[in-house]
A and B are shown apart, each in its own frame.
Chain A
Amino acid sequence: MDMLDEIVKEFLIESYENLDRLDQDLMALEEVPDDRNRLSSVFRAIHTIKGTSGFLAFNKLEHVTHVGESLLVLLRDGKMRLNNVIANGLLAMVDAVRKIMASIEAGQGEGDGDYHDLVADLERLQETGGIETSVSGLEPVEAKRATEILESIAKQVGIMSDASSSVAVTTTNVAPAKKRAKGGRRKKAVNADNSGGAATAVMELASSSIAFPEIVVPNFSQPVIEKHATESAASVSPAEIHAEHVTEAAPKQEALECVSKGGNPHDGEGGEKGPSQSVSDSTVRIDVTLLDKLMNLVGELVLARNQILQCSRSTQDASLIAASQRLNLITTELQEGVMKTRMQPIQNAWAKLPRVVRDLSAICKKKVQVKMEGADTELDKTILEAIRDPLTHIVRNSVDHGIETPEVRESRGKSVEGTLLLRAFHEGGQVNIEISDDGGGINLARVKEKAIGQGMITADQAASMSERELMNLILLPGFSTAEKVTNVSGRGVGMDVVKTNVEKIGGTLDIHSIYGQGTTLRIKIPLTLAIVPALMVTCEKDRYAIPQNSLVELVRLEGDRVKREIEHIHNSPVYRLRGNLLPLLFLDEQLQLRPTRSAAELNENSVVNIVVLNAEDRQFGLVVDQINDTEEIVVKPLSKHLKENSTYAGVTIMGDGTVALILDALGLAKRAHVVSASRDRIKTQGGVAEQAGGDAKQTLLLMGLGETQRLAIPLSLVARLEEIPMASVERADGQMVVQYGGQIMPLLDLGDVLRPGQGGGNNSQMLQVVVYSENGRSVGLVVDRILDIVETTLAIQRTGKRIGVLGSVVIQNRVTDLLDIHNLILASDRDFFATPPTSLAV
C-alpha cells in the first residue's frame, strides 16, 4: 500500500466516495427520474472520475466512464428519460469502475478485465434509450424485473466469461517462471472481484426465483455461458435462461471463491495474501470547520479541566481528587487526539518540491538531486498550509542561486550533481525545517556590494555590520544578488515575503551560509497555534502568560545578590548572564503600571525574578514580581479594539476563570527597543539618520576619555564590557595584548588613537575594556570610563575629520563623538578584517 502514489491514493479515496454516492443517486433516480439536481450530481461525479483517470493515464477507466458520461449527458439534457435499463447500465458501469479501482489500489494497474461489452451496452443505450428491450409474455412488473435481472446477469456473465478465461490461463499456464506467476495472480485478483458481482446477481436471481421454480445444475462450459450472455442481452425466453444462469453462476462462483481465498489449488507458488483493507475504509474525510469546532471545544474542556484541577487542590475529598486526576488524563489524551487529527506529515508540503526542482534544474541547466529526511514529521494543517509557499520559494532560490552549474561544480571539486536536502524534525516543542544545498553559498562581499549599490546601506555601515546582519540583508525587500533577472527568480521579491510568512505563524527564519560550500535555511515553527504551554507570571497582582517558545531560562536573585549583580549603566539595569550583558526590563514599568525605578529603589527589593526571553535572537531579561507555574493555555485572539497593541499575543482564561493576557516577547522587546525593526537598525547604524528620517532610535554605549571627551558606539557592536587588571596586560609585537577567553586579544587604547600626544597613558590599576568581536576575533578598546547606555535618535551634527570618528552628536546635552570602530581597528591592525579564521570573505 505504501507503494501507492500519493495522488493515486487521493484519487481512489475521492472516487470511492463519489461511487458510493453514485449508487444512492442512481437508486433515487429510478424513483424520480427527472430530478435534475441528482442527474447533475451523478454527471459531475462520473465526469470527475473520467477527468482524473485520463490525467493519470488509466485508459480503461477513462473509456468506461466516458461512455457513461455521454449517456448521462443525454439524460441530463432531458433528451432521454432514465429507466431501469439505463439505470442498470449505469450501475454496471459503476461496478466496473469499482473493479478497476480495486485493481489499481492493489497495485496491479487497471487489471485486465475486458469492458468492451459494457461499453457496447452503454453505447447501445445511448441510441435506444433502453426502451425496446422490454420483455413480452410476463406480467408488467415481472417483465420489468426480469429485464433488469437479465441485464445485470448479462453484464456479470460477460465479465465472468473474461474471468473464467483468465482462470483457464491460470490453471494451464502456471509455470515456475516468476513473471508468469505474477500475471496469474493479477488475474486472480480480478476474478475475486468478479465473484462479488456474480454473487449479487445470484442473490437477486434467488429472490425473484419464485417465478422460476425449477433449477437444474448442468456442467457449464465457456461457450455456453457466452452464448447465453448474448442471448440474455437480447432477451429471449426469460425463464429458461434464468434457470440456466442460476445454475451456471453458482458453481462458477464457488470456483472463483476458491481461487480468491488463497487455498488456491492451481498455483504452485502458494497462497495469495488477501487484499489489504481498502483505502477508503481506513480514512474518513472530515470538514475542517468541524475539526476547528472540535478543537475549540477541546480548548474549552482544557479550561474547565484546569478549573477543576484548581478546585481539587484545595479539597480533601479523595474521590473528587481521583476523578479530577482521571479527567486530567483523559482531557490531555483527548486534546492530543484532536490535535493529531489536524496533524499532517510535512511530506504533503514537500511532495511537489522534487518536481519543482526537476523542472527548474532543467531550465537552469543544472543537475540537482533532492533528498528528504523526516518527511513524516507532522505539523498542524494550518501551519502546513502557511509554509507551503515559502518552502517552494526557498527551494527555487536554492536551485537558481545556490547550486552551481555542473561545470562550475566540477571546477570546484564538487560532484557534478548538486544536492538539496530537506530536513524536518521536532525539537523543543517546535518543528525545525531545514533546506540546505551544497551550492555556492552566500558571498557576503557581494551582498555588501549590492546592498551599497542599491542604496540600502552605506559603505561605512557595511563595514561595521556583523556577518549575521549582512546575512539578514538578504531578507530585506528588494534585495537580490542574482547577476541577472531570470524568469525563475532574481527580482528581489521573495525572501522578505518568505520571512513575513514564517513570522506570521510565529516562526523564525535563519540563514547559515559558508561561501563556496552551501547555504542552510532553517525555519522554526510552533507545532500548533491554538494551545500552547506558557509560563504564568504575576506583575502588580495581575497574571500574565509568557509562551514557552520565547522563554530561555529563569534567574532568581535573592538578598545581597540583587544589589551586587544588577548593575546599572546610567539608568539602564543590566545583569551579567554568564559574562554577557543582559538588558533588564521591568514588566510593571513596561506596562506603565509604575514609574521607572531608580537604582536605589531597585536595591530595596529582596528578590528579583528574571525571565530570560529571546526575541529575534536577542536576549533580554524581564523582571516580574512572581513566577508561578507553567500551564497549557488556550490562545484566544484579542478583540479587534486591542489588537493594535503588539505587547500582547492574545488572551487566555485561567483555571479560576479569570482572564490573563499573553505577553508577546517580540512585541515587548520592540516596545523597549531591545530589538528594533531590522530595517531601521540597518539604516541608522553608523549615523546616517538623515537618510532614515531620523525617527528610529538606537541604543548607544557612552564612554569617557580623558577629562571631558565623550565617545559613543552602538551597543549592538559591543560583545562584552570587561574590567581587566593592568597586571594582566602583556606585550606582543609591540602591542598591548591580554589573554582573553583562550585567545590573545589586542588592546587598543582609544586615548592613544584619538588623543595622540595628550599622554593617553592609563594609570589606573583596572582597565575599562569594551570588547568588540567579529568573525571570532576580538579586540579590546580601552577607555577611561564607561558612562551610560542611552537610547537616542542619531542626528549627526558634524561629520568627523579624524580617523576613527564618524561624527559628533549631542547626547544628554553633551557633544559626543561617534566612533567608527571599523576604521579604528583597521588603523591599528590592517589584517583584522582581512583574514578572519572562518575564511569568510568580507
Chain B
Amino acid sequence: MAAARQLCTFFLDELYFGVDVQKVQEVIRYQEMTRVPLAPPVVQGLINLRGQIVTAIDMRRRLDLPALPEGQLPMNVVIRTDDGPVSLLVDEIGDVQEVDSEQFERPPETLRGQAREMIQGAYKLNERLLLILDSDRAACIASGHHE
C-alpha cells in the first residue's frame, strides 16, 4: 500500500498545481497590497496579514506564464518558509487532493526553464496531471535570476 499524500491544489493558467498541505498556512482571497518598486518583478507586493508583513509572489510570472487577464483578481496561498510566510498568487483554489505515490512521475527532460526548478513532478490523475510545486523554490527569489 503506497503512502497517501495530501495536496492543496490551485490553478494557474489552466495548469493544475499542488503543494503539500503541511506547507500551507492559509488560503485567503485577494488582498490589497503595496507594490515594492525596484524589487524583482515577480514580487507583486506586500500584504498585511494580521500585522505580519507577507511578500506576495506572482506565480504566473514566476513560471513564465502569461499574466492574468485584466479585472481578474488572484488568490493568496500563504505558505510557510524558513524566512516567514510567503504568499503565492494563484488564479483559483482547488480542493485538497489525496494522491498516491504510485501515480507520481518525475518531469520529463523536455521541461525547461524556470519551471524545471520548481516542478518536482506530476501525479497522473485520471482526468488530468497534478503538478507538484516546490514551494520553497518558488518562494526563493533572493537569487534574482528571474527572466
Contact = CB atoms under 8 A, between A and B. Distances in A.
Nearest to A643: B142
B72 to A, nearest CB: 22
Contacts of B144: 644
B90 interface: no
B1 interface: no
A658 B38 CA distance: 19
B53 interface: yes
Nearest to A588: B37
B103 interface: no
A542 B34 contact: yes
B83 A659 contact: no
Interface stretch (A120-128, A173-181, A633-641): A633-641
A835 B35 CA distance: 56
Nearest to A636: B53
Interface stretch (B41-49, B105-113, B127-135): B41-49
B95 to A, nearest CB: 29
A651 B83 contact: no
B14 to A, nearest CB: 28
Interface string B47-66: 11001011100000000000
Contacts of A642: 36, 39, 43, 55
B55 to A, nearest CB: 5
A387 B144 CA distance: 35
A508 B141 CA distance: 32
Interface string A638-672: 11111011011001010001111100000000000
A591 B37 contact: yes
B86 interface: yes
Interface string B94-134: 00000000000000000000000000000000000000000
Contact of A592 (B33, B38, B43): B38
Contacts of A647: 37-38
A661 to B, nearest CB: 7
The interface size bin for chain A is: 20 to 34
B69 interface: no
A593 interface: yes
B84 interface: yes
A591 B53 contact: no
A566 interface: no
A389 interface: no
Contacts of A593: 37
Contact of A659 (B43, B48, B139): B48
Interface residues of B, number: 26
Given A651-B53, A658-B48, A640 B83 contact: yes
B32 interface: yes
B142 A651 contact: no
Contacts of A303: 51
Given A642-B43, A653-B51, A660 B34 contact: yes
B32 A300 contact: no
A761 B102 CA distance: 92
B41 to A, nearest CB: 11
A644 B32 CA distance: 24
Contact of A653 (B36, B53, B86, B141): B53
A350 B48 CA distance: 42
Contacts of A644: 142, 144
A303 B86 CA distance: 22
A641 B48 contact: no
Nearest to B46: A659
Contact of A658 (B34, B36, B54, B84): B34
Contacts of B142: 640-641, 644
A645 B53 contact: no
A659 B48 CA distance: 6
Nearest to B34: A659
A542 B46 CA distance: 12
A660 B36 CA distance: 9
A216 B84 CA distance: 76
A657 B48 contact: yes
A638 B54 CA distance: 9
A592 B36 CA distance: 11
A659 B55 contact: no
A642 B38 CA distance: 9
Nearest to A648: B36
Nearest to A541: B35
Contacts of A542: 34-35
B37 A592 contact: yes
Contacts of A641: 39-40, 43, 55, 83, 86, 139-142
Interface string A67-87: 000000000000000000000
B86 A659 contact: no
B89 to A, nearest CB: 14
Contacts of B37: 591-593, 647
Given A639-B86, A641-B55, A651-B46, A659 B33 contact: yes
A648 B55 CA distance: 15
A639 B35 contact: no
B117 to A, nearest CB: 16
B51 A639 contact: no
Nearest to A651: B53
A628 to B, nearest CB: 15
Contacts of B53: 636, 638-639, 651, 653, 659
Contact of A639 (B32, B33, B48, B83): B83
A657 B48 CA distance: 7
Contact of A661 (B36, B84, B139, B140): B36
A696 B142 CA distance: 25
B43 to A, nearest CB: 7
A651 B86 CA distance: 15
Contacts of B54: 639
With most chain B CB atoms within 10 A of its CB, the pick from A648, A653, A659 is: A659
B47 A659 contact: yes
A639 B38 contact: no
A300 B51 contact: yes
A653 B48 CA distance: 7
With most chain A CB atoms within 10 A of its CB, the pick from B32, B35, B37, B84 is: B37
A747 to B, nearest CB: 45
A639 B34 contact: no
Interface string A678-712: 00000000000000000000000000000000000
8 contacts: A542-B34, A592-B38, A642-B36, A642-B39, A645-B36, A647-B38, A658-B32, A658-B34
Given A641-B55, A651-B46, A661-B36, 10 more contacts: A639-B83, A642-B39, A645-B36, A645-B38, A647-B37, A653-B48, A653-B53, A658-B32, A659-B34, A659-B45
Interface of B: 32-40, 43, 45-48, 51, 53-55, 83-84, 86, 139-142, 144
